[in-house]
Structure 1
């Protein structure tokens, strides 16, 4: 009896410990954490919140489906983090998500945030699917964990250049970039393409993604007499730039990339936005295979229109979920090989990845501001087809 009682407390403690571990494992297995990172505050928050809302809608729809893996019903939880469009903050956010044991991340938006954060996710073996980072370098670092559901700037820059040359018949263009990975990268691919087509680049100036006074740069450019001004950057700089162009008498159309193709650009620029052009990866929202239904669902849920990349955030969630189903697991190491095999028909259309994690066959849409609204002008498919 003495021996029995001597070991009874130890046995009870061991049993309690095992039971506790079992509950923790069960909770960890049944609740699947997906990270999301984007600028949720600051000058680019409209885009970041748009991505967050689209991603959350995907999580909610996934939970409504009651996904089961190996007979266990999963509940997906979104952990959203604000990277403030800041490369340093992005790495802090990435480590926070890794420490929170997320199994995958939808994000970041800015290439300048995705690129430094991608090393942290790669070191942890966690898949990262960006809904909006377009700088080629993001997927050219050799990491097996980086994917994106938008065309990159090696596709977008030449598409915008082709439109300028063939549709607008331009002979002289000036360029400004915001010195970020996104803006500078987009401007560089655009510049190379227009020069190859025989267009004269009369100036290429640089600003930052924090500046809002462009008088000196624009005055310098005005003297070069360009027919168009291309801006590689985000609407928070593009909108005041458009207004200042008009005020200084630089009365030429502004052309940009996806960073300015948002309702906020028109709202801030006002009448100065009229006649501006912008390229954006993907089909026009109303031409996306699942676009109409998604736009209606988004409006009903948030009482807001889609800004830019909400459909991409939504599809990223289901791309990850489909990979988990094929893997029969939520473990990142097992999900990653299945992500590379993705063939998913999403809201935005067919999604497949190449060996770097880039979206295959991504279309580019060219838009123009007409009567205070963005309207589709051209759709450039891979290979230059329309």
Structure 2
């Protein structure tokens, strides 16, 4: 997947250039300061705060709570404050409730986390002035399909999923891309997630002759498959999407497991921006 994430600081530089004649740029920040996503909201506060301090920007931060009601309340506050632009939003429910209000107020929005494809696909129909910094929801699926049809074109590969919408959408995209590239998996199936072992699935994969397996599912399940494949000496390389980026669990990933995902921000960010975060601890 192409690394298209950008720092919020870079975003503010862009708007400083476009508002050079303005005395102060007032930026609305929509973030989940409360609720289960509050830890992410605090990160948005920290990033926007550093960018604002460095560039002479005034912020108005409002808690959208990652809910529809919270998004609508935040939008009305931004409209009343006459902010120049709004950044933030991590949840689809919040931004979809906010956009009609912000559209009527003539306030453009840049979401840093919402991946829902329809948000920007329907822009011509809705008239919503919304743009995104993060990837679209289908970017991950397309990146997986592109990468693996190239890497595994000469391999005996299998495609499995955990039955969730996330897993099914990814594997269907991969299957379609493989078919278009005249590649055929040796095995396709759905596995039962969150089991203590996946010996049965590994046995079927081994019998089918699969040497490479893409699993549309959680990291814990893929780690267990890697462990069980090693115990059965199946010689299988596993691959997954961003769901592999999880805190270490009881079972580590097998050596050679592939993850198709965006790089960690700290690995690609401007060193000066990282230094600013370090200075503020």
What range is the shorter-chain TM-score in? 0.5 to 0.7
* 5+ residue gaps, structure 2: 1-23
Query: SS where residue 223 of structure 1 aligns?
Result: helix
Select which of 59, 79, 84 maps to 1:76. Answer: 59
Tell me the residue number matched to 1:279: 260
Matches for 1:223-372 after TM superposition, within 5 Å: 223-225=204-206, 226=210, 227-231=212-216, 238-249=218-229, 252-261=236-245, 265=246, 267-268=248-249, 271-272=252-253, 274-281=255-262, 285=265, 288=268, 290-302=269-281
Greater fraction strand: 1
Tell me the residue number matched to 2:6: none
Query: SS where residue 280 of structure 2 aligns?
Result: helix
Question: Alpha carbon RMSD of aligned pairs, Å?
Answer: 3.8
Kindly state the Cα deviation for residue 216 of structure 1 after the two structures are TM-superposed.
Answer: 8.4
- Alpha carbons of 1:286 and 1:34: their partners in 2 closer, same or farther (altered >3 Å)? closer
- Alpha carbons of 1:138 and 1:161: their partners in 2 closer, same or farther (altered >3 Å)? same
Q: TM-score, normalised by structure 1?
A: 0.49
Select which of 50, 56, 64 maps to 1:60. Answer: 50
Is the radius of gyration larger for structure 1 or structure 2?
1
Tell me the residue number matched to 2:179: 195
Q: TM-score, normalised by structure 2?
A: 0.64
Query: SS where residue 215 of structure 2 aligns?
Result: strand
- Alpha carbons of 1:77 and 1:119: their partners in 2 closer, same or farther (altered >3 Å)? closer
Tell me the residue number matched to 1:91: 68
Instruction: Write out per-residue CA displacement over residues 155-209 of structure 1, whole angstroms, 9 at most, x where no aligned residue.
Output: 43233223223224433222325735x55544443332233221317335387xx
- Alpha carbons of 1:295 and 1:268: their partners in 2 closer, same or farther (altered >3 Å)? farther
Q: Is the 8 A contact 1:170 1:228 kept in 2?
A: no
Instruction: Write out per-residue CA displacement over residues 211-231 of structure 1, whole angstroms, 9 at most, x where no aligned residue.
Output: x62468873465144421332
Tell me the residue number matched to 1:164: 148
- Residue range with higher mean Cα deviation, 214-223 or 291-300: 214-223
Q: Is the 8 A contact 2:27 2:87 kept in 1?
A: no
Tell me the residue number matched to 1:106: 88
Instruction: Write out per-residue CA displacement over residues 308-356 of structure 1, whole angstroms, 9 at most, x where no aligned residue.
Output: xxxxxxxxxxxxxxxxxxxxxxxxxxxxxxxxxxxxxxxxxxxxxxxxx
Q: Distance in 1 between matches of 2:132 and 2:280?
A: 25
* 5+ residue gaps, structure 1: 1-28, 68-74, 84-89, 233-237, 303-386
Kindly state the Cα deviation for residue 106 of structure 1 after the two structures are TM-superposed.
Answer: 0.9
